[in-house]
């Protein structure tokens, strides 16, 4: 028998069909593999995004979770400030120990604020009005000032990390430029 005859006999028409079927099955498995790989990569990305989101939420909760309590403490600071500002020299001599206690309480409150990232916004008369940190309570033309300058500070403001808790309440000059 010749070599060609042997090759023809060995080549079975069913075997040729099986090769085509096998190639089709291989292609289907490759497509399924690619789909699973895509799903896996998406799930991996989703998990990473969820981890980052939970880290961000945790940091925000640490930094800003106490903002309601902090806002509720601001009137305490205001009242202590007003009490110390209202004291006359005569009262300072007569009530020295009482005033010392109020000043110590005020200092401790400031220390607690600082420990928790609460920063005092204390503008001075003559500073430029900044709507990001100040709230204009009134405008008035005051000689010797420029429009937009602070002419009076009613209450100090506070910021918790990078968020405004309460703007400083100020009066602003409306003197037109000459």
DSSP code at position 176: P
CA angle, 28 then 47 then 56, to 5° = 155
Q: In this predicted model, which residue has the larger pLDDT, 177 or 88?
A: 88
User: Residue with structure tokens 């940190």?
Assistant: 133
Closest CA to 148 of 122, 174, 121: 174
Question: Tokens standing for 134?
Answer: 């100040």
Output the pLDDT for position 4: 57
Q: Which CATH number fits domain 65-173: 2.30.38.10, 3.40.50.300, 2.30.22.10, 3.20.20.70?
A: 2.30.22.10
- For position 99, what pLDDT does the model report? 93
Instruction: Summarize pLDDT for 130-173 with one digit per residue, the tens.
Output: 999 999 999 999 998 999 999 999 999 999 999 999 999 999 99
Nearest to 70 by CA among 176, 169, 165: 165
Tens of pLDDT, residue by residue over 1-52, are 555 555 554 455 445 556 778 999 999 999 999 999 999 999 999 999 999 9
Q: What local confidence, expressed as pLDDT, does residue 62 receive?
A: 85
pTM greater than the 0.75 cutoff? no
Domain ranges across the chain: 3-63, 65-173
Each residue's pLDDT tens digit, 106-130: 999 999 999 999 999 999 999 999 9
Q: Are 149 and 126 in contact (CB under 8 A)?
A: yes
pLDDT in tens, 60-102: 888 888 889 999 999 999 999 999 999 999 999 999 999 999 9
In angstroms, rounded to a whole number, what is the distance separating the alpha carbons of residues 109 and 101? 12
Q: What are the DSSP calls for 90-128, one per residue? A: HHHHHTHHHHHHHHHHHHHHHHHHHHTTEEEE---TTPB
Taking the C-alpha atoms of residue 74 and residue 82, their distance in angstroms, rounded to an integer, is 12
- Give Cα 37 to chain centroid, integer Å: 36
Six-digit token string for 140: 């008035």
Q: What is the pLDDT of residue 176?
A: 76
Instruction: Please report which confidence band the pLDDT of residue 175 belongs to, taking 50, 70 and 90 as the band edges.
Output: confident
């Amino acid at each position: 028998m010749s070599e060609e005859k042997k090759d023809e006999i060995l080549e079975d028409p069913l075997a040729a069909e099986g090769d085509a079927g096998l190639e089709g099955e291989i292609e289907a498995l490759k497509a399924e593999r690619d789909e699973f790989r895509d799903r896996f990569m998406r799930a991996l990305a989703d998990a990473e995004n969820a981890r980052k989101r939970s880290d961000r939420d945790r940091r925000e909760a640490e930094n800003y979770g106490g903002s309601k309590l902090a806002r509720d403490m601001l009137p305490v600071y205001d009242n202590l400030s007003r009490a110390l500002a209202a004291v006359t020299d005569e009262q300072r001599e007569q009530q020295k120990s009482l005033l010392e206690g109020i000043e110590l309480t005020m200092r401790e409150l400031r220390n607690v604020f600082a420990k928790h990232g609460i920063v005092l916004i204390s503008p001075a008369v003559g500073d430029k009005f900044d709507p990001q940190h100040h709230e204009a309570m009134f405008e008035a033309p005051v000689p010797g000032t420029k429009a937009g300058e602070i002419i009076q500070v009613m209450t100090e403001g506070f910021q918790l990390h990078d968020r405004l808790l309460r703007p400083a309440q100020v009066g602003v000059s409306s003197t037109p430029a000459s």
